[in-house]
Structure 1
Amino acid sequence: MTSEITSPATNTELLRAAFATFNTGDVDKCMAFTAHDLIMNLAELPEPRHGQQVWREGYEMMRNAFPDLRAHIEDIVAAGDRVALRLRFRGTHRGEFLGIPPTGHAIEYVSYEFYRVADGLIAEEWICSDMATLFRQLG
């Protein structure tokens, strides 16, 4: 089975659309942009995580903690099947986040994210978010 190859411009538009949908808070529509066997590589975890359900759980955890969370694309570059983004996330801490009770504080942090697109879907992601800045804002 071979993967459908899409252009860097098409892949860029896929990621723009995915983050526009992310910002609406509609998790089901977000899932439509991801491959069933999505691979997630998070800088703070030693091993990749796998599957749409795991992605959904992470999304819902963030959305519950920061219900108004928005991702702003500051840079986007694509080559081949890869898309790199520099994102700025902003929101308000209104729910528990990793054991930290809601503070009501506004948060803002940067994330460097890389994606691999296959068959018109996000197949793999590498996420390196500035979690130190996020946690400082919750203190």
Structure 2
Amino acid sequence: MSEENKRVVLDYVDAFNRGDLDGVCQAFAPDALIYGVLGWGGIEKTKPIWRDLIDSFAIRLHVEAMIAEGDEVSVRYVEHGRSLNSFRGGPVTEQGYEITAMEWFIIRNGKIHKRWGARDTATMFWQMGLTIP
């Protein structure tokens, strides 16, 4: 089961890296809860946050480590991107960033049921010459 759960998370990462928001959302159960730095809630609450991040920063996640046990999967990434479009009305600097990010997932019935994300948003914005809105 652990290997199957890793595949669910890798499919989510692949969709995120392609900027495929529908594919990202399809990895989640309809009643999933998603906890992140910029907010938390279900898919409908989180989808606009992800759209802003994907469109503004062209985020790419590179899996450095993944551990799975039972229905839980933990991932450490190198995350990188670039200020390409305005984020929540802020300026565009075209500067890039690279940070370490981590996510923890609970997988049930082949879908992500819960997801927690932790990243150093302050350093991300600082590297791009932006202030956190």
Q: TM-score, normalised by structure 1?
A: 0.85
* SS state at 2:18 partner: coil
- 1:49-60 equivalences under 5 Å are 49-60=40-51
What displacement does 1:76 show?
0.4
- 1:54-133 equivalences under 5 Å are 54-66=45-57, 68-133=58-123
CA distance in 2, matches of 1:23, 1:44: 19
Which has the larger displacement, 101-110 or 91-100?
A: 91-100
CA distance in 1, matches of 2:51, 2:31: 18
What displacement does 1:98 show?
4.1
Q: 1:44 to 1:23 in 2, by over 3 A?
A: closer
What displacement does 1:44 show?
6.3
What displacement does 1:91 show?
1.4
Unaligned runs of 5+ in 1: 1-6
Partner of 2:34: 40
**2:11 equivalent to 1:17:** yes
Q: Which amino acid aligns with 2:75?
A: L
Count residues in correspondence.
129
What displacement does 1:99 show?
4.2
Superposition misfits of 4+ residues, deviation over 6 angstroms: none
Q: TM-score, normalised by structure 2?
A: 0.89
Unaligned runs of 5+ in 2: none
- Quick check: which one's helix share is greater? 2
* SS state at 1:23 partner: helix
Percent identity of equivalent pairs: 26
Equivalent pair of 1:78/1:84 in contact (CA under 8 Å):
yes
* SS state at 2:45 partner: helix
